[in-house]
Structure 1
Amino acid sequence: MKKSKRPKTPKCEDKVDYISKLPDHILLLILSRLPFTEDVIRTTTLSTRWTHLWTSIPSLDIDHSRGHNPPKTFKNNKFKKFVHSVLANKSIDLESFRLCCSNHYNMSTIRQWINAAITRNVKLLELKFCPKNECKDIALPNSLITCDSPEILRLHLFTSRLSMPGLIGFPSLRVLQLTNAELYHNDPLQDFLINCPLLEDLSLINCLLEELVFLVINCPKLKNLGIENRNKADYLKFEPVGLCGAILLFCPELVSLEFAGHIALHFSFLSANSLKKAVIRSEDTLLEEFSYDPKGDTIRELYSEVKDVESLSISHHFVEALHLPVSFPKLKTLELTIDALIVDSIIEFLKCLPDLESLHLVIQQRFCNSTYGSLDQEDRRRILTCRLKRVEFSEFDGGYTKLAVAAFLLAHGHALEEMVFSWSNEARYNAFSMEILRGVSSFPKASSSVKVITLLRTDSGN
């Protein structure tokens, strides 16, 4: 008996490469979704058609520490050739170019890479490096500063000294972030900022401002300002002036201000009418160390500048430094970080916020249960009955005191619409969240429509 023959699959159907048949713009869209340029280049092994296609992607992200085969790193010469090859296609404009090369290369090499990115009309430029010779200042190439294309510039300089060219600025720059940069003198910085006419977003993170008495930020178009200094050793290095004796802002369109770390002795606006949001994370919390309380004076100066904001993020140390009562007539949203539940001062502060609609509590540790009793005073209950609609507990762990505060807010918040418990510990969330939710759902509630929600947030954004 003859065996029946299985029909052969046509060769053209047996080896079809459906991905490579996609048009170039679709393939480039796929490649652009890969996180790192090194990953994009590895795709060239999939198809000969992809060998040079990757050179046309508009976003490049290169890190010396990643190398071709993590965790092994590039050898310096190999990495240098690699970056040159990545930037070689001058016919395609760049949306973004991110480069981290630590201190492996001198400034002449880094300038070549910056110039190559500029010739490709890069819009977002992010560089993390410091010179191989630490004694040399970092001078940004004039080709970069006078170029029309960069709109976003982020420099992380590992405490290297940055030489700011006076009377020259980026004509199209909207966002500038300087991290760990040592600015030798404030005047060139101020001149530089004045000559960035479109600057809307400025961040100075752990920057050392030597010989500085006044930092004047004169940016007519600036909308968002962030200043952060968390290295107290560096802050104290410049006593008695400190990081800076005073910060003077002329930013009439400023909408958002974020100040974190160790603050200046004086802080004032020439115009703050447009300010809507303020985040103040001062780490100068041990005010008793200063016999004349300069930080308390600064906090009160800050209060006078931010009292008309609609959104405020502070710690209870900020509240303690104020002279209550105070007035925040427009405040709708408050994020309050608490290291210890100082009920009297916090409740008295909340009484100053008649139109508060959203309260975000970050309670960082367990507290003595004895403080909870003072919440039951009649005049303190009334502060939550008018407009408070939403309460969120961040970094929730099911602790007794946090539940006691939640019970109080539910019992007396007649306008409450939503109470959210945000867990950061996944194991505790999986083990206890549903049990806690059932318990909280049984608490007495002043509002019949309030929703109780429990969720897991593994980072600040999700």
Structure 2
Amino acid sequence: MDDAAAAAAAAASKKRRRDVPAPRDPPASREGAGGGDDASLDLISRLPDEILGTIISLLPSTKDGARTAILSSRWRHLWRSAPLNLAVDDALSSQESERIAVVSEILAAHPGPARRLCISSIFLGGHHHARFDGWFRSPALGGLEELEFYRGNSKRALPPSVLHFAPTLRVASIGRCNLSVIDAAPVLAFPRLKQLNLSGVAVSEPALLRLLAACTVLESLELMGIRGLSTARIVSPTLRSIGVSVGHYEELPEELVIEDAPCLERLISFGCNGPRTIRVITAPKLTVLGYPSCRFYELVFGLGTIIVKEMIPISLAVSVRTVKVLVLESIGPNLDVVVGFLRCFPCVEKLYIQSRLRKDMKNLGQYGTLDPIECLELNLKAIVLNTYEGKTPDVDFAKFFVLNAKVLELMKFGVYRNSCNQKWVANQHMRLQLDNRASRDARFDFERDYGNCRFYYKKHMHDMWIADPFDRSLCKFCRKV
């Protein structure tokens, strides 16, 4: 390097040193520079009390919230001023008597308001019924927004003091209690309630209709194992999502009738059983239809326009064009049955199929150009085939879509087998004739299905911000197929 270049480099280095800002002293703590255990608070501790209180209220357990008091003197008072998140479960104490004592102490010590109350490990019955009534009237539970009440007694009504929460409750999950008792019918008439889960409760048809009419902003409803109700009739101007199932020990038949639901976007059946009959009369915005169980008997749309019995479409007088996401469970998988559904729902863009393999199934269906399937020609963009084993019935079924879905963008295979290595995947590529695919831009992904044999995830049941509750890619906890 010559002298001129060296001089220029030295000048540039000196300029860079001048441009580096001098380090600043850390800002003084809120409590001053006089020392103390909080002389150098962390950035979280500098947040206002209101924000810190919200953080504490969102911690997963009551113990976690109370333990924040040991962090520093800054946090010592926050738990009592934070919205109460009280979970009465085994994590609070392993003994029921201790849990009861701890809850009474917390409600006496905390001034409120409350965000969430979950009681899942104390039975509603006997002398506990009066104790619950006293807890529900506690000032600490003023402003309650979320109530979860399980392990009750299906012969007992909820304590009347539940009405104490009526002005503020937004989410309610009620299990094993009697809502058919005359005095109990208005208990759940909450004007701000947006989400309601009923599990194993006893309720009559008139009581359910009164309940839905009284919850004037309700958006999401889950009915699971309802007792004493042969027909669940839904009339609601605000409901956007309905999930329904029949438990292992519930009596069949069960019928769900969507009589008038102008805002309904999702109708999902989950669990091991569903209603014997689902009848959709008025649901003009229905976009997601999830019925993964093959055990139902009859599905009727409109006034007899589409009738499906035992997973076989038998009447296709008029198609349903609003449904964009369709979930099916198919034994075989049975290509003829699935194609019949696609003719019923010609505008489906995403198709989920839960396969239950039957070795003797023949899936050699030919695609007739004189009788095209609108869905395959114009709309079907994504397919997820779960419990894929790569056997001949699976391959023939999937190959039909590979060769005929003209606007397909993605097809996922949830591989239900021990090996899903590169050699096996390459063999599947050849057997599925991916080089001859109808959509040249389509992508095909093979991933292990770790025994997760159903698509439905209840935690997304009420997430209306997710357009497709079955799309696991939208949730960071559900990245696999």
| Structure-to-structure mapping, 1:279-294, within 5 angstroms | 279-280=290-291, 284-285=295-296
**Structure 2: which amino acid aligns with 1:125?**
L
Structure 1 pair 372–278 and aligned structure 2 pair: CA distance change class (3 A): closer
Distance 2:343 2:180 in 1: 47
Amino acid at match of 1:372: N
- What RMSD, in angstroms, separates the aligned Cα atoms of the two structures? 4.1
Matched residue count: 411
What does 1:21-420 correspond to in 2, within 5 Å?
21-23=45-47, 24=49, 27-28=52-53, 31-32=56-57, 34-47=59-72, 49-58=74-83, 60-68=85-93, 73=94, 75-88=95-108, 91-103=111-123, 106-116=128-138, 119-131=141-153, 137-142=156-161, 144=163, 147-157=166-176, 163=181, 165-166=184-185, 169-183=189-203, 185-209=204-228, 215-231=232-248, 233-236=249-252, 242-243=253-254, 247=257, 249-259=259-269, 261-263=273-275, 267=279, 269=281, 271-280=282-291, 284-285=295-296, 295=297, 298-299=298-299, 302-304=300-302, 318-320=310-312, 322-324=314-316, 327-368=319-360, 371-375=362-366, 384-420=376-412
Q: CA deviation at 1:338?
A: 0.9
1:449/1:283 CA distance change after superposition, 3 Å = closer
Distance (whole Å) between structure 2 residues aligned to residue 106 and residue 190 of structure 1: 30
SS in 1 for 2:169: coil
Alpha-carbon shift at residue 266 of structure 1 (Å): 7.8
Comparing 215-224 and 14-23, the one that deviates more: 14-23
Maintained 8 Å contact 1:139/1:162: no
TM-score (norm. length: structure 1): 0.72
Distance, in Å, in 2 between the alignment partners of 1:385 and 1:451 is 17
Distance in 1 between residues matched to 2:395 and 2:66, nearest whole Å: 52
Percentage of identical aligned residues: 20
Report the Cα offset of residue 365 of structure 1: 2.2
Is contact 1:375–1:381 with CA below 8 Å preserved after alignment?
A: no
Q: Tell whether the 8 Å contact from 1:118 to 1:147 is kept in structure 2 after alignment.
A: no
Contact map agreement 2:80 2:111 (CA 8 A) in 1: no
Q: Deviations over 1:206-264 (max 9, x none)?
A: 01026x6x654443333333332133x4314xxxxx546x7473334333333453436
How many Å apart are 1:50 and its aligned residue? 4.0
Task: Indicate how the Cα distance of structure 1 residues 115 and 430 shifts in structure 2: closer, same or farther if over 3 A, else same.
Answer: farther
Question: Structure 1 residues 442-451 or 15-24, which shifts more?
Answer: 15-24
Amino acid aligned to 1:250: D
> Is contact 2:292–2:354 with CA below 8 Å preserved after alignment?
no
Evaluate the alpha carbon distance shift between residue 281 and residue 349 of structure 1 in structure 2; reply closer, same or farther with a 3 A threshold: closer
SS in 1 for 2:202: strand
What SS is found at the alignment partner of 1:177? strand
- Taking a change above 3 Å as real, the CA distance of residues 172 and 216 of structure 1, as seen in their structure-2 partners, is same
Q: 1:358, 1:390 within 8 Å by CA — same for their partners in 2?
A: yes
Supply the AA of the counterpart residue of 2:60: P
CA contact (8 A) 2:45 2:74 kept: no
Shift of 1:306: 9.7
Change (3 A) 1:385 1:278: closer
Q: Which runs of 5+ in 1 are unaligned?
A: 1-11, 237-241, 286-294, 309-313
Cα distance change, pair 60–206 in 1 and its aligned pair in 2 (3 A): same
Q: Spell out, residue by residue over 1:380-413, the C-alpha distance to the aligned partner (whole angstroms, 9 max, x if none).
A: 7866344332222224444443333333322233
- Cα 1:55–1:360 change in 2 (3 A) is same
Check conservation: 1:32, 1:58, Cα contact below 8 A. yes
Equivalent AA in structure 2 for residue 340 of structure 1 = G
CA distance, structure 2, for counterparts of residue 341 and residue 276 of structure 1: 24
- Tell me which residue corresponds to 2:441: 449
Q: Is the 8 A contact 1:385 1:414 kept in 2?
A: yes
Which amino acid counterpart does residue 102 of structure 2 have in structure 1?
F
User: Which amino acid is 1:251 matched to?
Assistant: A
The separation in 1 between residues aligned to 2:304 and 2:109, in whole angstroms, is 49
For residue 62 of structure 1, what is the amino acid of its counterpart? A
Task: Summarize the Cα distance change of 1:326–1:203 in structure 2 as closer, same or farther, 3 Å threshold.
Answer: same
> Residues 412-435 of structure 1, C-alpha deviation per residue, up to 9 Å, x if partnerless?
33322222224577x655787865
**Structure 2 vs 1, CA of residues 378 and 454 (structure 1 numbering), >3 Å: closer, same or farther?**
same
Q: Unaligned regions of 5+ residues in structure 2, if any? A: 1-34, 458-471, 473-477
Q: Once the 2 structures are TM-superposed, how far is the Cα of residue 83 of structure 1 from its aligned partner?
A: 1.4
1:394 is paired with a residue of what secondary structure?
strand
TM-score, length basis structure 2: 0.70
**Contact 2:167/2:192, CA 8 A, preserved across alignment:** yes
Once residues 326 and 363 of structure 2 are traced to their aligned partners in structure 1, the CA distance between those partners, rounded to angstroms, is 21
Which residue of structure 1 lines up, in the alignment, with residue 19 of structure 2? Answer: none
Q: Quote how far apart the aligned CAs of 1:340 are.
A: 1.8
Q: Report if aligned partners of 2:195, 2:220 keep a CA contact under 8 Å in 1.
A: yes
